[in-house]
Amino acid sequence: MPAAPHFAPSEIDNAPLDEARVVLLPFCYEQGASYGTGSADGPLHLLAASDALERIDEETLLDWTGLPIHTAAPLRPGGPPDAAVAEMKAATAAVLDAGRFPLILGGDHAVTIGPALAVAERFPDACVLQIDAHLDLRDTWNGSRYNHACVMRRVADEARLPFVQVGIRSFSPEEHRYVVENGLKPVYAHRIDSNDNSWIAEVISRLSPKVYLTIDLDGLDPSVIPGTGTPEPGGLSYRQLLALLAAVGARRRVIGADINELVKIPGTQVSEFTAARIAAKILVHCVMSADR
């Protein structure tokens, strides 16, 4: 397991917290995994991979390391799931209250619940944009209401934030009933044309002015990110995700984000390096674009 470096190439220092524009919060949390395991160490692998990133973004020609970025010490929430959620909520709330951009690194997708609750208390007019293979709308799973399979149900029922779901291609009968009964309109992966990005305009039109972004890495196709707990075929391409991030950052105010469900595959670095690239793209498109 790697140590806990900060997010940046090695020549860039970890910015002091009181000078940071962005705070990375590594939430090393996994409980009640449905299939593959290992996401608790995902944040550490992503941070280690960030050392190999180049500083110039090829799309915008911006040096993303010009942002003052502080990487906090890894948090390993303990106790029952509700206590873990409360701990992650408090850590996120502290960053929001300081006027900084929280970028959370998971961990399984349950890490999103605490930040979403923190966002809802401070930005009740916000919404959540979820990139995911799964609806995550179960009320309980593996004996818990705070499981990774229940994330968006808690966003709906406890955070009470509206949400838009993109890349969906796997769900249960219970979740399908919830979608129908509540008039939800997920953007299913099979309806996303690989040669036509007009679907992005539909997504943008349904977002509130303020957006919290959650990226479950299984939302991307396994050819892009094979290292995730439940790799579902037929997902978004890397370029489709970037086009969406650029559009959201240009047209909405992104107030925080998370990347979750990274699982290291021994002998290859493609998943963690790609996840680190996605984190840098969030900084470019969703933070630097707002600051310009």
pLDDT of residue 143: 82
pLDDT of residue 33: 57
pLDDT at residue number 4: 63
**Helices 113-122 and 81-97, axial angle in degrees (round to 10):** 40
pLDDT tens per residue across span 59-88? 999 999 999 999 999 999 988 999 999 999
Strand-pair partners of 78: none
Length of the chain: 292
- 36 has pLDDT over 60: no
Say which DSSP state 157 is in.
I
- Name the pTM for this structure: 0.96
Predicted pLDDT at 274:
98
What is the C-alpha to C-alpha distance for residues 25 and 77, in angstroms, rounded to an integer? 12
d(CA 204, CA 222) in angstroms, rounded, equals: 25
3-state secondary structure of 24: strand
Which one-letter DSSP state was computed for residue 53?
-
**All structural domains of the chain with their residue ranges:** 17-291
Q: 290 falls in which pLDDT band (50, 70, 90)?
A: confident
What pLDDT does 32 receive? Answer: 62
For residue range 122-168, what is the model confidence (pLDDT) as tens digits? Answer: 999 999 999 999 999 999 888 889 988 999 999 999 999 999 999 99
**CA 253: distance to chain centroid?**
16
Question: Do residues 106 and 218 lie in contact, with contact meaning Cβ atoms separated by under 8 Å?
Answer: no
CATH T-level fold of 17-291: Arginase; Chain A (3.40.800)
pLDDT for the residue numbered 129: 98
- Which residue from 138, 129, 107 is spatially nearest to 39, judged by alpha carbons? 107
pLDDT in tens, 183-236: 999 999 999 998 899 999 999 999 999 999 999 999 999 999 999 989 999 999
Specify the higher pLDDT residue, 33 or 78.
78
The pLDDT value recorded for residue 37 is 72
Reported as a single tens digit per residue, the pLDDT across 237-271 is 999 999 999 999 999 999 999 999 999 999 999 99
